[in-house]
Structure 1
Amino acid sequence: MQVVESLLRPAGERVSRAELAQALNMALFLDVTDRVPMAAAYVADLQRDGQQLVFDHGALRTVAWPSGALPPGEAAITRVLRPLGFTMAATYPLPRLKMTGRAWRHADFPEDIAQFFVSELHPERFSGSFQGAVTRVLATSQDPLTPGDLALLEHLARDGDLPAVSAVALLPKLVGCFARQHALFEADDYQLLLTESAEMAWIATEGNAFNHATDRVADIESVVAAQRALDRPVKDTIETSATGRVRQTAFKAARVMREFLDRGQRVMLEVPGSFHEFIQRAPLDESGTLDLAFDAGNATGIFKMTAGAAKDADTTGEAAAC
């Protein structure tokens, strides 16, 4: 993975917020390669050929609803992002999906440290039975952060760095925030959620894990051609933004086995997992600054990657990386 040179200095007594943010991003990208076979195969090809991957962004989903011991909605994630130096760059309403997405960009290295696209689902916009299922699923959520972890985050927000020993201890706790925090739940509740929202059904099985991780490439068409030549399941089309500066496509989502309860018995069901995405970004202007935005026009195809067997939603005009 390509890492900006200033973040590769020899280890010292303190770790900056940017260094810790980069370490977190690299750990989360590795998690996607562990869960998505096509991502692992693609990365293995790059390693074999001596090429570097540019991590553009990771996307995850949250639910704006009471969640047991876990802060509801995006607050469970933004309490981590802010001390690491990320600031909210843009808001993307997703009314057809009954969600809101927000892009979080690193203040110190906006082009070099991968962004986070954090989306939030709004159960109050769905039926009463749907809300009941959401409540039952999320009620068992645990908070992966201890008061000591939160104190370290407060120190990081205040000082901009941490003692190396504290940063090393905190990193795995931060990684643990990007996972499923609730316990097993009834398969019937999963089916109820799936009927109204493939996105909520996905959150129910995968939690706050990365829905996808994205490689920023120089020539997306050549990447797609190479992956198709290897008979890998790449999306049929490349989405292009209204400005023409942002182009996206992806591998089809992995299928994963997840455990559920069925009237007290444990059962396994196959559900949609995560996927690996490709993005090509052109400069905004002659300055060479990249267009780091997420485009509304790319929505439909990318969002369907984890829709599974659910009825396809009409998401035209909504942000892609949610």
Structure 2
Amino acid sequence: MGIDEFFANLWSDYVASTPQAEKIKQAFEAKGERVVNDHVAFRTLALEPIRLKALEPHLLAVGYTPYEPYDFAAKKLSAYGYLPPEPDMPRVFLSELRVDELSDASAKILRGLAEQVDAERVKDPSILWSGRLWDPVSWEDYQTLLAESEYAAWVATIGIRPNHFTIAVNYLEQHAGVEEVLQTVEGLGYKVNDSGGRVKGSPDVLLEQGSTLADRMMAPFADGQEREVPTCYYEFAKRYPTPSGELYPGFVAQSADKIFESTNVAKSGS
């Protein structure tokens, strides 16, 4: 599979559960802006057969190279950034939840989900836009996960798919910074994630980021009922040049920590 087809599949899956992204993209394009994707991100569990290292080969197969690891101790997450084969292609951010660091109750639930995944399916690149690969969780189990880890609850109901795409502010001509982008997005009627401030990061750390709050959709649960849960969000990033003159290629863990909260239940429901 070529890289263009790879990202076309990701975008198609993403906007199906995140209609705000298509509308925001179209609104910027209607203003004459060139919308370029800065990066796309995925979430998974540090469990076989879907741990980070099991998904990574699909990125390597389309030309990506590992760049830098990241650790989010409070959220019990490990992550890796990946650089594209060409500078104007999107970067990738892949994270996993360290299930072994959770309570026995939460870990047992998540292990039960991972055990349902067909290891052969993980070998196909479509795993990255496959969604939920296990039976619906019970509402009780969802609440158990939610109380300990919003990330865990999200993966349990949404599965493996891109949780955000990102507009590269550097390519915009009418929006000088992330705050200007956020104001335009709010003008379209969408709420932004203000955890840690509306704009995370600064020129000092060579990266500024902001995001919407996640869309919501109805998801099935084990009792046969459907309930509304957060899906995915749209991010906006501006990169600053390194001393060598190239735009900073990585991510800032402190900022990403707050960006994760774009899918928090209380926030997306407000």
TM-score by length of 1: 0.74
Q: Gaps spanning 5+ residues in structure 2: where?
A: 171-175
Q: What displacement does 1:299 show?
A: 3.6
What is the root-mean-square deviation in Å for CA atoms of aligned residues? 2.1
1:250 and 2:211 matched: yes
Q: Gaps spanning 5+ residues in structure 1: where?
A: 1-16, 151-172, 311-322
Contact 2:41 2:165 survives alignment (8 Å):
yes
Helix, strand or coil at the partner of 1:130: helix
Q: 1:295 aligns with which of 230, 245, 252?
A: 252
Q: Residue by residue, what CA displacement relative to the aligned partner does 1:32-79 show, whole Å, maximum 9, x if unpaired? A: 22221221211121343343211111111111124xxxx231133112
Q: Residue by residue, what CA displacement relative to the aligned partner does 1:107-147 show, whole Å, maximum 9, x if unpaired? A: x31x222111111111111111111111222222234648x
Between the aligned partners of 2:187 and 2:121, the Cα distance in structure 1 is 44
Q: Residue by residue, what CA displacement relative to the aligned partner does 1:193-216 show, whole Å, maximum 9, x if unpaired? A: 112111011010111111111111
TM-score by length of 2: 0.87
Instruction: Provide the residue aligned with 2:164 in structure 1.
Output: 212
Amino acid at match of 1:175: S
Would you say how many aligned residue pairs link Structure 1 and Structure 2?
257
Instruction: Provide the residue aligned with 1:127 in structure 2.
Output: 103
1:141 and 2:127 matched: no
Matching of residues 251-270 of structure 1 within 5 Å = 251-262=212-223, 266-270=224-228
Q: Residue by residue, what CA displacement relative to the aligned partner does 1:85-126 show, whole Å, maximum 9, x if unpaired? A: 2111000011111110111112x31x2221111111111111
Instruction: Provide the residue aligned with 1:6 in structure 2.
Output: none
Instruction: Provide the residue aligned with 1:194 in structure 2.
Output: 146
Contact 1:242 1:295 survives alignment (8 Å):
no
Helix, strand or coil at the partner of 2:27: helix
Helix, strand or coil at the partner of 1:309: helix
Q: Percent identity?
A: 28
Instruction: Provide the residue aligned with 1:9 in structure 2.
Output: none
Amino acid at match of 2:182: V
1:28 and 2:26 matched: no
Q: Residue by residue, what CA displacement relative to the aligned partner does 1:287-314 show, whole Å, maximum 9, x if unpaired? A: 531101111231443121112139xxxx
Instruction: Provide the residue aligned with 1:307 in structure 2.
Output: 264
Q: 2:181 aligns with which of 204, 216, 223?
A: 223
Q: What displacement does 1:30 show?
A: 3.3
Helix, strand or coil at the partner of 1:177: helix
Q: What displacement does 1:81 show?
A: 1.2
Q: Residue by residue, what CA displacement relative to the aligned partner does 1:234-267 show, whole Å, maximum 9, x if unpaired? A: 23411124724210101111111100112xxx11
Helix, strand or coil at the partner of 1:96: coil
Between the aligned partners of 2:193 and 2:140, the Cα distance in structure 1 is 31
Between the aligned partners of 1:129 and 1:50, the Cα distance in structure 2 is 51
Contact 1:144 1:177 survives alignment (8 Å):
no
Between the aligned partners of 2:120 and 2:181, the Cα distance in structure 1 is 38
Amino acid at match of 2:266: A
